[in-house]
């Protein structure tokens, strides 16, 4: 009887969750239509070439998708190249930031001994490095370095702080039973900090997207969403500029949602505990 009652409660909770998700989707659709309506109305009211309507932006999107830009580069190629640069810089930030954050979280003296270098560099915006990047780097490495600078520190600091935030009791208990340091790191600390690392990665990915314009301002290439925006900024083609801005926002949104889905699937125990 108790088991069947538990299943009834769980089924009811899942049904309520499904209804909440449907409501959330509905509210988002209504918000989107409301935003488009206001945008269309303001555009009609202003009658300005510098404030194009959603229809003109959509038409520009189709033209870029099928015919390409002024240099015959199609929108898909711009998106692919920007994604490659993003994933290159973001991947490098994860590969360096996570192990380094774990190391300095486990050995605070290492961080304290290098703090005079790490902290000043952390506050330098990626844009400030562009003149040096132009001189010292070439090709793909230019974009990767600027994007890496933006994504690295949120991942590194998030990982570092998550290690420091592990409950000492969870470490002291196995240690009192003779558990080795490596066992504690593998079985206690890393599983405890993984959710926070995922959150730091999401923040880092968002900042990586913010850096794409700065990275692609470096020049020397003709393909990329940021480069496409800069091309049409010189021609004052606002509808194409908005297409680029919307594409960056939509791809960032989709990547963030993928991260959330993966996080929910990997860390199901978080939801169980919260319930």
Burial grade of 137 (CB within 10 A; 0-12, 13-18, 19 or more): middle
Q: Which CATH number fits domain 52-274: 3.30.420.140, 2.40.160.20, 2.40.50.110, 1.10.3720.10?
A: 1.10.3720.10
Q: What is the pLDDT of residue 269?
A: 61
User: How is the chain split into domains, by residue range?
Assistant: 1-47, 52-274
Query: What is the rounded (10 degree) CA torsion for 69, 71, 74, 76?
Result: -100
Question: Within 13 Å and on the Cβ side, how many CA atoms surround 123?
Answer: 5
Percent of the chain with pLDDT over 90: 19
> End-to-end CA distance of the chain, in Å?
22
pLDDT tens for 161-202 read 888 888 777 777 777 777 777 878 888 888 888 888 988 998
- Name the residue among 235, 214, 249 with its Cα closest to residue 71: 235
d(CA 143, CA 133): 9
- On whether the CB atoms of residues 101 and 158 are closer than 8 A, the answer is yes
pLDDT per residue as tens digits for the range 110-124: 888 888 888 898 898
Reported as a single tens digit per residue, the pLDDT across 36-67 is 899 889 988 888 888 888 899 999 999 998 88
The tens digit of pLDDT for each residue in 189-239 reads 888 888 889 889 989 988 888 888 778 877 667 888 888 888 888 888 899
């Amino acid at each position: 009887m108790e088991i069947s009652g538990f299943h009834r409660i769980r089924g009811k909770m899942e049904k309520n969750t499904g209804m909440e998700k449907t409501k959330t989707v509905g509210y988002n659709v209504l918000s989107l239509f409301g935003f488009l309506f206001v945008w269309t109305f303001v555009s009609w009211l202003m009658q300005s070439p510098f404030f194009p309507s959603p229809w003109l932006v959509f038409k520009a999107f189709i033209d870029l998708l099928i015919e390409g830009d002024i240099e015959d580069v199609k929108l898909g190629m711009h998106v692919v190249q920007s994604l490659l640069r993003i994933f290159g810089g973001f991947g490098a930030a994860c590969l360096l930031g996570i192990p380094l954050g774990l190391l300095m979280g486990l050995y605070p003296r290492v961080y304290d001994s290098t703090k005079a270098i790490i902290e000043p560099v952390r506050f330098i915006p990626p844009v400030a490095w562009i003149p040096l990047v132009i001189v010292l780097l070439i090709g793909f490495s230019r974009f990767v370095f600027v994007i890496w600078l933006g994504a690295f520190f949120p991942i590194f600091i998030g990982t570092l702080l998550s290690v420091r935030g592990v409950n000492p009791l969870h470490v002291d208990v196995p240690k009192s039973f003779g558990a080795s340091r490596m066992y504690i790191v593998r079985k206690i600390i890393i599983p405890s900090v993984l959710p926070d690392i995922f959150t730091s990665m999401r923040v880092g990915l968002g900042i990586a997207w913010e850096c794409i314009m700065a990275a692609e301002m470096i020049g020397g290439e003709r393909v990329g969403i940021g480069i496409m925006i800069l091309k049409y900024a010189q021609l004052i083609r606002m509808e194409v500029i908005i297409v680029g801005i919307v594409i960056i926002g939509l791809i960032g949104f989709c990547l963030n949602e993928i991260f959330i889905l993966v996080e929910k699937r990997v860390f199901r125990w978080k939801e169980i505990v919260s319930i």
